[in-house]
Homo-oligomer: A and B are copies of this chain.
Amino acid sequence: MRSLSNFGRCAAWAALLGLLLSAPGVAAFAQTDPMPSWNDGPARKSITDFVAKVTTQGSPDFVPPAERIAVFDNDGTLWCEQPIYFQAAFALDQVKAIAAKRPEWKQQQPFKAFLAGDKKALAEQGQKALLTLVGAAHSGITTDTYARSVAEWLTTARHPRFNRPYNELTYQPMVELLAYLRANGFKTFIVSGGGVEFMRVWAEKAYGIPPEQVVGSSGATKFEFGPDGKPVLMKEPKIEFIDDGPGKPVGINRFIGRRPILAFGNSDGDHQMLQWTMAGSGPRFAGIVHHTDSTREYAYDRESKIGKLDKAWDEAKAKGWTVVDMKQDWKKVFAFEP
């Protein structure tokens, strides 16, 4: 005869077993909101509807996990890009530190603008000029030395408005979105106009995105043997690839080799990436972060030198892509807000 109390104990084991066999991530999400910094609204709903659709086994829109590639622009999409690209702020500090050894820079753009602290002139020269400067300023050092200098800079430099280390200026709702996608079997990538070696230093800690899933612009490197006979990669003053605008689909094809099913950007520099993503077959998601919040962050779009959002916005409206209104859709912009 089986006593009820002992059956009860067995049932408890069985329940525990059942719990272990069910997907723990899904069970947890049923109880806690995976994206607490998003207000209820059409933007949030478009994301969760899309994820539900592509992860429902047996649904005609089901996408196997291996094909759940999600790509995100970085500057202005995952972290702040004002008043200048943060990588430009880094380059400015670095260039100043080594300018004494390079007197000719005083007469050459974009060094001249940098050394004069002329942020307006700098912004006007656009992203390519900034990349040229970064490349030139960091030639003649190894990739390892470069990575160390980025890491050191992040511990000392502060954003001029928020007075925080730059890597604290990531968007909390987007960090939650990245984690939510990964919990649903997506592989998340950065596809940014920024320098790939700059981002890889801090992206894993900031976003949970490992170095091998960061696609970006790059300078040339050269394999050499250092004075100690050990091999090094020397950074050369030559831009090799600009991962911006039409370069983004090219970069996605080169580095990832699969067409994403979800892409998020914030500017016309992301337009072609969004178009490329949406042109594939099956379910697709295109999202744009619209900077509408001058109180908590910044407000800019069609007229901005940095992060100009014009043509991509028009296409988003025409085609029903998701446009996130930072002011309306986000409870919080930065994690450090009260």
Contacts and interface: CB of A to CB of B under 8 A. Distances in A.
Contact of A6 (B2, B143, B272): B2
User: Closest 5 CB pairs between A and B?
Assistant: A211-B257, A223-B246, A13-B13, A6-B6, A200-B257
A314 interface: no
B233 A249 contact: yes
Chain A contact-residue range equals 35 or more
A222 interface: yes
A211 to B, nearest CB: 3
Interface in A37-79: 66, 69
Contacts of A221: 250, 253-254
A298 B267 CA distance: 54
Interface string A236-255: 00000000001101100111
A10 B6 contact: yes
| Copies of the polypeptide in the assembly | 2
Contacts of A197: 253, 257
Contacts of A200: 257
B10 A254 contact: no
With a 10 A CB-CB cut-off, give which of A17, A213, A222, A223 has the most chain B CB atoms: A223
Interface string A9-37: 11001101100110000000000000000
